[in-house]
Chain A
Amino acid sequence: MFLPFLPMKNLLRFLARYHAVFLFVFLEVVSISMIVKYNNYQHVKFLNSSNRITGSIYSGYWSVAEYFTLKRINNELAEENAKLRSQLMREELSKIGNEAPEQDSLYRQNFFFVTAKVINNSVNRAHNYILLNKGSRYGIKPDMGVVSSDGVVGVVTHVSENYCTVISILNNRLKISAKIKRNNYFGSLTWDGDDYRKAELDEIPFHVDVAKGDTIVTSGYSAIFPEGLMLGTVSDYSLHGGSNFYKITVNLSVDFKNLVYVDVIQNKTRDEILKLESTNEND
């Protein structure tokens, strides 16, 4: 039978014939966009790889365009200078005859604790997360540290009104700044993805005196954990040929398989530390 040329009809026939493939591609695109959107890790990975392309385009563009904005930026800076100077003046004036109070005993208490209960936990995935039964209602915010009575558990990642999720030490996306308690050399602690009782301490140089049983604690070099929280003990260490750093295996002090109550650490000076640190990035 003679069929007149009907593009619409052909298109429909084409779609009908390969509907399975189209549906497959469609569903995979939906799933993968979900993965990229809702899973932090893949999200970061995806953005990173695309950033390399967009980043180079933008930096090329800006290296030309920034000359044309210098005038505006200059004005803005001058305005900001004026504003800051006037603020400073006001501050100076207000201080006269009104000495700043001396630091009292509360001075050292930068860290406050909120106790929460673990309501979901896993140790068997490549990236383990813990769910706690307290959230923003109790002042919990992302990037707060979580400890149990035995030691460090993880860091808060997302917060809802009544719950929060915690990235556990048993997740190789989390690095914790740690040090050997005996001699204060510091490195970073990560999980190797296999055993829930062990983690690895990197970046300890080979000349350092390490011994089995040495205590590993947090270094306090971040705004998340105070110094000296228990992480674990050295169970094994070795030096690979040519490497400048030890490969140290640490027995974690927390038993992640029976975690019930944990404390979320609120650092009162966190914003202050971050603000201060961010000023260095512009140097």
Chain B
Amino acid sequence: MINDIVKYGIMYVVLVLVQVLLINNVQLGGMYSPFIYILFILLLPFETPRYLLMILGFLMGLTIDIFSNTPGIHASATVFVAFLRPGVLMLISSRETYEPGSAPRISMYGFEWFVKYAVILIFAHNLFLFLIEAFTLHGIFHTLLKAIINAFLSIILIVLSQYLVFRK
């Protein structure tokens, strides 16, 4: 338990720093910067209660917001992802297949499972975020296109990171 808190605490700090100091400064195609911080919500253990997921999501989003000067935008999108997560886990495989005490990892549940899981949540995250940022339905196709491209980049980055860093 304590071990987990330390582990995920470090993950939280590292993801925030990587997002704010590295990725936000790399603009692919001049305007897209993928979001890797959402990985924190994706990787929390299966047994994490729903309310904790959402509170952690809110804190994570708010931290990113404070660094990027956009109060509320990342927080609302991350809470949305945290809210969806249990449902998505149920949707892609029944609860019995998840080993108790484990966490969603590519090494444990395979590439295909992880990509399915990540794609749904990351698309939800990006669509929600870009729509709430635009705050209007005017030019919605442009907004959606940007969200989809950004989601793709985020997925690539997140799946790659699973092979590079989070191997355990």
Contacts and interface: CB of A to CB of B under 8 A. Distances in A.
Interface in A16-69: 19-20, 23-24, 27-28, 30-39, 41-42, 45-46
A31 B75 contact: yes
Contacts of B24: 122
A34 B58 CA distance: 12
Interface of B: 24, 27, 30-33, 50-51, 54-55, 57-58, 61, 65, 69-73, 75-76, 79-80, 83, 86, 132-136, 142, 146
Nearest to B57: A27
Contact of A24 (B27, B33, B54): B54
Given A28-B76, A32-B72, A196 B30 contact: yes
Please report whether the interface of chain A is mostly helix, strand, loop or mixed according to DSSP.
helix
Contact of A20 (B32, B50, B65, B142): B50
A123 B30 contact: yes
Nearest to B28: A124
A31 B54 contact: no
Kindly state the interface size class of chain A when it binds its partner: 20 to 34
B30 A35 contact: no
Given A31-B58, A35-B72, A45 B136 contact: yes
A126 interface: yes
A129 interface: yes
A175 B69 CA distance: 22
Nearest to A197: B30
Q: Which of A24, A32, A42 has the most CB of B within 10 A?
A: A24
A27 B58 contact: yes
Pick the 7 closest A-B CB pairs, nearest first: A34-B72, A31-B76, A35-B72, A124-B27, A20-B50, A38-B71, A31-B75
Contacts of B27: 123-124
Nearest to B87: A20
A140 B31 CA distance: 30
